[in-house]
């Protein structure tokens, strides 16, 4: 029984590691709602994947990239990309995804698995796709780290100093889209933002540099995955929700620690 947990644990840890740096950037750049919008549009990606018989992760990543580029263009053109616009796109795409999936009635799919994660049924094939995407994000963020930080601090300043701000912003959005594609398997569409934000927010109060914050966030995310899976094993709770709740416990703990 325990070896059945090995692959889920591995995949969960991989996603946790990648979500730490991106979660930090989502927080610093105030992209929480943006991440939420992408996550909600992921169901469209599921329908997409079914239609063209792709791996769900790839389908979701592709559809999220399309939405991300769309938002990036809208943001560049005008000031349309405010809360309301994100809200409209977020819920419209979720609704559209639900309708599309229900229209494909002949292909029976477990909606619950997509909405709340399905870590325990992860296959070797899933794991390989997730690992490949994770490596791409890891290398990408590593190479652009300094520019991303400069852009986060002030985009005009970064631009004057020769950072390709627009390109980097698009890249960050693509990374987030890719992450949502692989995180869906772990915690599900509705809980992805939690996986991004909670470890980063927990690490904020106990660290003093951006790098330290990311490392602590990664450790917290890893621990949350381990704890969540253990809880799921012993108490038979849903793994995705258990992982998020473990993160919440860490958040409360660090908030209390920092007060002293």
The count of chain residues that interact with other proteins, using the rule CB under 8 A, is: 26
- The piece of 3-11, 167-175, 198-206, 252-260 that touches other proteins (CB under 8 A) is 198-206
DSSP 8-state assignment for residue 79: S
Rounded distance, CA 35 to CA 53, Å? 25
Residue appearing with tokens 């599900």? 188
Q: Which is nearer to other proteins, 88 or 157 (CB)?
A: 157
Restricting to residues 209-228, which ones interact with other proteins according to CB under 8 A?
A: 209-210, 212-213
> From the CB of 209, what's the least distance to other proteins, in Å?
6
Residue 185: which of 98, 112, 97, 118 has the closest Cα? 118
> Per CB under 8 A, does 258 bind other proteins?
no
> Per CB under 8 A, does 87 bind other proteins?
no
* SS3 (DSSP) at 177: helix
For the packed helices 192-204 and 239-259, what is the interaxial angle rounded to 10 degrees?
Answer: 20
> Per CB under 8 A, does 259 bind other proteins?
no
> From the CB of 186, what's the least distance to other proteins, in Å?
24
Restricting to residues 30-69, which ones interact with other proteins according to CB under 8 A?
A: 30
Q: From the list 55, 92, 164, 207, which residue makes contact with other proteins (rule: CB under 8 A)?
A: 207
Rounded distance, CA 174 to CA 125, Å? 23
Structural tokens at position 209: 């540099």
> From the CB of 96, what's the least distance to other proteins, in Å?
32
Q: Which is nearer to other proteins, 216 or 231 (CB)?
A: 216
Residue appearing with tokens 């003093």? 208
> From the CB of 30, what's the least distance to other proteins, in Å?
7
Rounded distance, CA 49 to CA 141, Å? 26
C-beta of residue 220 within 8 angstroms of C-beta of residue 247: yes
DSSP 8-state assignment for residue 205: T
* SS3 (DSSP) at 215: helix
Contact characters 138-167, other proteins, x per CB under 8 A: --------x--xx-xxx-xx-xxxx-----
Restricting to residues 3-32, which ones interact with other proteins according to CB under 8 A?
A: 24, 27-30
Rounded distance, CA 110 to CA 127, Å? 19
Rounded distance, CA 69 to CA 152, Å? 19
For Cα atoms 107, 109, 115, give the angle at the middle one, nearest 5 degrees: 150
Contact characters 90-129, other proteins, x per CB under 8 A: ----------------------------------------
Q: From the list 62, 201, 241, 245, which residue makes contact with other proteins (rule: CB under 8 A)?
A: 201
> From the CB of 13, what's the least distance to other proteins, in Å?
25
Q: Residues interacting with other proteins, by CB under 8 A?
A: 24, 27-30, 146, 149-150, 152-154, 156-157, 159-162, 200-201, 204, 207-210, 212-213
């Amino acid at each position: 029984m325990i070896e059945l947990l090995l692959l889920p644990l591995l995949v969960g840890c991989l996603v946790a590691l990648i979500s730490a740096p991106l979660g930090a950037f989502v927080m610093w750049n105030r992209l929480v709602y943006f991440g939420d919008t992408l996550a909600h549009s992921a169901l469209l990606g599921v329908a997409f994947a079914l239609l063209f018989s792709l791996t769900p992760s790839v389908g979701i990543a592709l559809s999220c990239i399309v939405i991300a580029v769309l938002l990036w263009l809208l943001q560049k053109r005008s000031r349309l990309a405010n809360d309301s616009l994100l809200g409209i796109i977020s819920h419209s795409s979720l609704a559209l995804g639900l309708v599309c999936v229900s229209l494909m009635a002949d292909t029976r799919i477990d909606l619950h698995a997509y909405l709340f994660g399905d870590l325990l049924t992860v296959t070797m094939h899933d794991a390989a796709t997730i690992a490949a995407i994770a490596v791409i994000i890891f290398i990408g963020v590593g190479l652009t780290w300094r520019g991303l930080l400069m852009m986060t601090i002030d985009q005009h300043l970064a631009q004057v100093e020769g950072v390709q701000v627009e390109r980097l912003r698009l890249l960050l959005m693509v990374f987030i889209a890719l992450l949502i594609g692989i995180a869906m398997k772990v915690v599900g569409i509705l809980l992805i933002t939690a996986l991004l934000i909670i470890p980063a927010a927990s690490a904020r109060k106990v660290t003093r540099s951006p790098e330290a914050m990311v490392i602590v966030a990664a450790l917290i995310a890893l621990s949350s995955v381990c704890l969540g899976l253990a809880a799921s094993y012993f108490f038979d709770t849903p793994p995705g929700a258990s992982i998020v709740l473990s993160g919440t416990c860490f958040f409360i703990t660090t908030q209390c620690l920092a007060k002293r």
